[in-house]
Structure 1
Amino acid sequence: MNICVYCASSLSIDRKYLELAATVGAELARRGHTLVSGGGSVSCMGAVTSAARAAGGRTVGVIPQVLVDMEVADEESDELIVTADMRERKGVMDARSDAFLVLPGGIGTLEELFEIWTARVLGIHDRPLVLLDPWGLYRPLRELIEGMYDEGFTRPDVFDAISWTTTVEQAFAHLEARAQPVRPSVAELGEAAG
């Protein structure tokens, strides 16, 4: 699978979040998946990509030009796609991914989570969406969504559209159990035709 990992790019976070990202990257590669990331080389984004490559995994980074100009691009990525802006970046990441894994992060991570979660609730896609939250950072968010449901602002299937997990093993179990077959790459399509 091509698994999109949304995570932090903040430089002021506790080391445990970096270690979690590195564990996810290594496990993703060990299981034979390709990482799709935001194309950054810092914080959790850098940790997940570096660990995936160190474990023999393939990495695809998608980054807007403004962040390349700030010199935070993951130049070692197997494939680095530079987009015009953040909206295009999210669209490319979405199009290149078979599943989505959300790690602890800030408002950028929340924006990505909400966009892909909303699309799943609306039936725009049916790809797995898993949130990995070992230390309860997102607990208030879950309580907020439950309160919104109680007040009639969300549909019951909002809870069916996402899996909340606390361990790396649980997260990958949910991703792999609900995943569709991997879409063939352009190279594989060419080989099949020839």
Structure 2
Amino acid sequence: MPVAVFASGQGTNARALWRAQDRCRFRVVTLVSDRPEAPVVAWARAVGLPIWARSPKAFPDKGAYEAAVLSHLRAHDVRWIALAGYMRLVGPTLLEAYPNRIVNVHPSLLPAFPGKDAVRQALDYGVRVTGVTIHLVDAGIDTGPIVAQAALRIRPGEAAETLLERLHRLEHRLYPRTLDRLVAEPHRVVGRTVVWLTETREGRPAWGGG
């Protein structure tokens, strides 16, 4: 299944999806970035991945920017979009073109700590457990239906940088598995969650270890 990965920075999740594709039912066919100078763009160029990288400032408005992105996606027959550190809200043009087929990864157990600096939010709040969430994208900020979650215990006195590194490792395991299932297995959106039609009982929470 052809997938476009959207990223704005280092693109560690984009790279994880790329590495996993040989054992999954999706193919990463292009990278889209709103920052042409981002490290992920240099990486994509090095591995030979087709790239669309332009600043939204080069367009008159968000609609024009997303229309150009959509034209590129259609040229590559993209069926799903995987956001991987894409630091921009997805607008109506792409949401309407890919209903319930845009996926995001977030470093918290949503609905807790949405938006920016989720790791710092969790540490400041004093929670003992955090984690990662894979969710479908809607018009809000990290408000779309939840697909999968994995939890991680916060160590006493843990620094934000260390916790973020552990969360990244958890994301790199959970995101490819979840995307693989989304693109290939029957499911439907029910309220705030995604229901797998092949399941006969409720899933259990996945723990990411200590």
> If the TM-score is normalised by the length of the shorter chain, which range does it land in?
0.3 to 0.5
Q: Which has the higher helix share?
A: 1
TM-score (norm 1): 0.46
TM-score, scaled to structure 2: 0.44
Q: Which has the higher strand share?
A: 2
